[in-house]
Amino acid sequence: MTQPVDLEALAALKDIMEDEFTALVQTYLADAQARVTLLHELLSKQDLDEIRKNAHSLKGSSSNLGASLLTDLCFQVEQQSKDNQLEGLNTLLSQIDEEFVLVKEALENC
């Protein structure tokens, strides 16, 4: 099974951020947590445009942290909301919830 975060990408990131790496991880986790919560709220309002934008942002930041599966899930949400496909979004968001827990665990332990 794929790792929740790509360790090689993370190593490169550590090299770039140096002392600020921990702060970066905390910033990401806080931002990502907020967006995941927001996605659920937006789904209940069926605001597809905002769902698309937030999924896009979460996709970008997650890719930068090497969370490839989470990135991929965000991409699917982005595509579906763009195509006005409400169906299946609920399932995707649940998968994001689960994956985010794993990513969070991996990042906090690295």
Partner 1 sequence: MAEQGVLKVLIADDTDSDRLILESIVKREGHSVVCARDGLEAVELFKSSAPDIVLLDALMPRLDGLGAAKQIKELAGDELVPVIFLTSLTDTDSLVKCLEAGGDDFLSKPYNRFIIQAKIKAFKRMREMHVTLHRQRDEIVLHNEHLLQEQTVAKQVFDNIAHSGCLDAANVKYLLSPLAVFNGDVLVAGIRPSGSMMVLLGDFTGHGLPAAIGAMPLATSFYGMVQKGFSLVDVLREINQKLKSILPIGVFCCACIVDMDFVKRRIKVWNGGLPDCYLYREKTGEIETVRSTHLPLGVSDDKDFRDDCVYLEMDLGDRFFMWSDGIVESRNHEGGMYGEQRLQRVFERNDASAQLFDEIIEDVHSYSGEACRDDDLSLLELKMVEPHQVLASADALSGHVSTGLMEWVLDFKIKPSTFRLFDPLPLLLNILVEVPGLRRHSGSLYTILAELYSNALEHGVLGLSSEWKETPEGFARYYAERNKRLGELEDGFVSFHLSHNTMDDGGSLLIRVGDSGEGFSHADKLNNEHKTDGYCGRGIPLIRTLCESLRYIDSGSQVEAIFSWSNDE
Query: How many residues touch partner 1 (CB under 8 A)?
Result: 22
The dihedral built from the CA positions of residue 7, 58, 78 and 34, taken in this order, carries a sign that is positive
Q: Which of 49/94 has CB closer to partner 1?
A: 49
Is residue 66 close enough to count as binding partner 1 by CB under 8 A?
yes
For the bound state, the minimum distance from the C-beta of residue 17 to partner 1, rounded and expressed in Å, comes to 5
Among 37, 41, 60, 85, which residue interacts with partner 1 (rule: CB under 8 A)? 60
Is residue 16 close enough to count as binding partner 1 by CB under 8 A?
yes
* HSE-up of residue 76 (Cα within 13 Å, Cβ side): 16
Is residue 11 close enough to count as binding partner 1 by CB under 8 A?
no
Phi and psi dihedrals of 80, rounded to 5? Answer: -65, -40
Q: Which of 37/64 has CB closer to partner 1?
A: 64
Q: Which residues contact 13 (CB under 8 A, 6 or more apart)?
A: 21, 24, 64, 65, 66
Binding site for partner 1 (CB under 8 A): 9, 12-13, 16-18, 20, 23-24, 27-28, 31, 53, 56-57, 59-61, 63-66
